[in-house]
Structure 1
Amino acid sequence: MIGALVFVGSKMGLPYAPPLVLAALRLDVAGLLLVPIVAFQYEYWLPQTRRDFIGVTLTGVFTLGATNTLLLAGQQYISSAVGAIAYSLMPMLMTAFAVLILPAAGLDRSDVVGIGLGFIGALIVANPTPAALLTSRVVGVGIMLASVVVFALGSVLTQRLDPSMPRITLTAWGALLAGLFNHAVTLRFGGSLADVEWTVQMVYALFVLGVIATGILYVTHFELINRIGPSRASLNFYVQPIVAAPLGWVIFGRQVTVSVFIGFLIIVLGFALIEYQLVIRIWRKFIGIGTQE
């Protein structure tokens, strides 16, 4: 549910700040919040080993920095629900990259079919017909998908690197570096803090994006990847469209079309094929609880 606030908070803040500036401010807030926390709570709060420094750089420049640049750039063209649905491809991409990068991962026939269904669902959501190939929606979904690819790849690479520092410490320094990276990108492509309109809604959007949807969400996500693996840690991305769609309708008046809904269902079906054993266990547990009651 927290993850859905990324897309809702982005739509709230974009009218008052350029996308790249909003992405930088989001990460500034998260980094400035998390670094003092880890400094007071953890003895191992500074990068010490070579892998630590590589992990912080990878997280800051790639996994968080480039991801948020693309996310905010794409979100300006599409609704919060469509953005959340684009991100529901995360588990399948995590699985694909894990197979390529992690030594213990493997890929069977159901995985291949599931990943294929995921991309078919994404195409249905984007609806890139020849007559509307360069519409804002198609462009927005394309940029969001690029953001998903960068985040999934960066997460799996970090797991493969396996830095010594705690995940919350890695995330804290990564967020701080990502903010600096995004400010540099902003200066390169135009835009500055002077372009921000500091309204109450803008401040609220930064709280939602920086504190809840970055500080809390990313720490939880990276810790789950470390404990249960990238694919299962990404299950929460399927809840995000369910939450983002009604929030987007209530706050912004944006409705979800039938094709977008069908695309999302196909993406979910694809993941069910990839993690069919997990789905069966959950279903058996659900039936067992229902039977006892």
Structure 2
Amino acid sequence: MYQKQATKSKLIGSLYLTIAASIWGGMFVVVKVVVPSVSPFLLVWSRYVIAIVALVLLGLQQHINWHVAKKDWPLLISIGIIGQLASIVFQETGTMLANAQIGSIITATTPAFMTLFAAWLLKERLTFTRVLAVTCATIGVILAGGGLHVHAHQTLGVISLTIAALTWALMSVLLKKVPARYSALQVTTIGTLVVLIGLTPVILIGYHAFNWAIMLTPKVGGGILYLGIISTAVAFVLWNKGLQLLQASQSGLFFFFQPLVGSLLGWLVLGEALHISFVFGCLLIFIGVILTLRN
């Protein structure tokens, strides 16, 4: 009975993580369309304003208990600063300076970092199968994106995206330290509030430098609504719920669905090149996911 329940939890967690990562894959294309018109800081702030409204309404509808013990605040605030503030700002800045495919490929190094952080902070076993799974899937990501071809003017973008991958991996592992009494919705809402508190002073200082009128145009406004409701509120809750059901080192492998969707949509929507190696890369990624689920 226990084994059956564990398998069911693993499958449900896998589904949550797959959907969340796929949503974020599509986010790279939306950001690439919206960012040239909107400052990365304003874009992040706007999407979190929308997300906090959606999260609070959902929390009220589900009668969430918002109480947080004093000793747990440092951890929850750290998660918000590291993963939902620093990581997202660096990610969107990096995408602006590089392109959607490079963005999805670089940030897909996150699972490797998650495996290392999990071994260090959570004492999860660094087994041969897990290392093989991450290595296999990482090679698959590079192949799926046609190789990592970086031009000199994209160097800062690559650096920003690497920092985004590191901070996101650390945040995902720290989430495993959050007591089970806090729901994924509650943790996500607190992290979102932390982002707004951190970014609002920056927005107020640069208020006159931002092009607020463009936020009301259908393309930019629609993109920000998508980023706020789907890519932030929905995807973060799904990711956090998935992390609660799997080990951190296992969860990271599902992040590879992000570059698959990002590369595919980058080709379909933005006209970015998609090489034949995409098929072989996809195969390696799926092999890596299967290996980690069987472990």
Q: CA shift at 1:9, angstroms?
A: 1.7
Residues 66 and 147 of structure 1 are in contact (CA less than 8 Å); yes or no, is this contact kept in structure 2? yes
Query: Match for 1:20 among 41, 64, 88?
Result: 41
Query: Match for 1:91 among 99, 111, 118?
Result: 111
Q: CA shift at 1:112, angstroms?
A: 4.9
Corresponding residue for 1:243?
261
- 1:231-283 alpha-carbon deviations (Å, 9 max, x no partner): 33333322222222232223222224678x599679849x82x973536x8xx
Distance verdict in 2 for CA 1:232–1:250, change over 3 Å: same
Distance verdict in 2 for CA 1:144–1:125, change over 3 Å: farther
Distance (whole Å) between structure 2 residues aligned to residue 151 and residue 235 of structure 1: 13
Corresponding residue for 2:270?
252
Q: Could you say what secondary structure the match of 1:245 adopts?
A: helix
- 1:136-169 alpha-carbon deviations (Å, 9 max, x no partner): 1x33222112101101101212312436321211
- 1:94-173 pair list within 5 angstroms: 94-103=114-123, 105-109=124-128, 111-112=130-131, 125-127=147-149, 134-136=152-154, 138-162=155-179, 164-173=181-190
Distance (whole Å) between structure 2 residues aligned to residue 249 and residue 183 of structure 1: 35
Q: Does 1:5 align with 2:26?
A: yes
Superposition RMSD on alpha carbons, in Å?
3.2
Residues 86 and 145 of structure 1 are in contact (CA less than 8 Å); yes or no, is this contact kept in structure 2? yes
Q: Which runs of 5+ in 2 are unaligned?
A: 1-21
Query: Match for 1:194 among 188, 194, 210?
Result: 210
Q: CA shift at 1:102, angstroms?
A: 0.4
Q: TM-score, normalised by structure 1?
A: 0.78
Corresponding residue for 2:4?
none
Distance (whole Å) between structure 1 residues aligned to residue 293 and residue 64 of structure 2: 37
Residues 47 and 165 of structure 1 are in contact (CA less than 8 Å); yes or no, is this contact kept in structure 2? no
Distance (whole Å) between structure 2 residues aligned to residue 184 and residue 256 of structure 1: 41
Most deviating of 170-179 and 49-58: 49-58
Distance (whole Å) between structure 2 residues aligned to residue 86 and residue 24 of structure 1: 23
* Amino-acid identity (%): 22
Q: Does 1:69 align with 2:83?
A: no
Q: Which amino acid aligns with 2:184?
A: R
Distance verdict in 2 for CA 1:31–1:52, change over 3 Å: farther
Corresponding residue for 1:291?
none
Q: TM-score, normalised by structure 2?
A: 0.77
Distance (whole Å) between structure 1 residues aligned to residue 42 and residue 284 of structure 2: 31
Q: CA shift at 1:29, angstroms?
A: 1.2
Q: Which amino acid aligns with 2:38?
A: A
Distance verdict in 2 for CA 1:21–1:111, change over 3 Å: same
Distance (whole Å) between structure 2 residues aligned to residue 195 and residue 68 of structure 1: 21
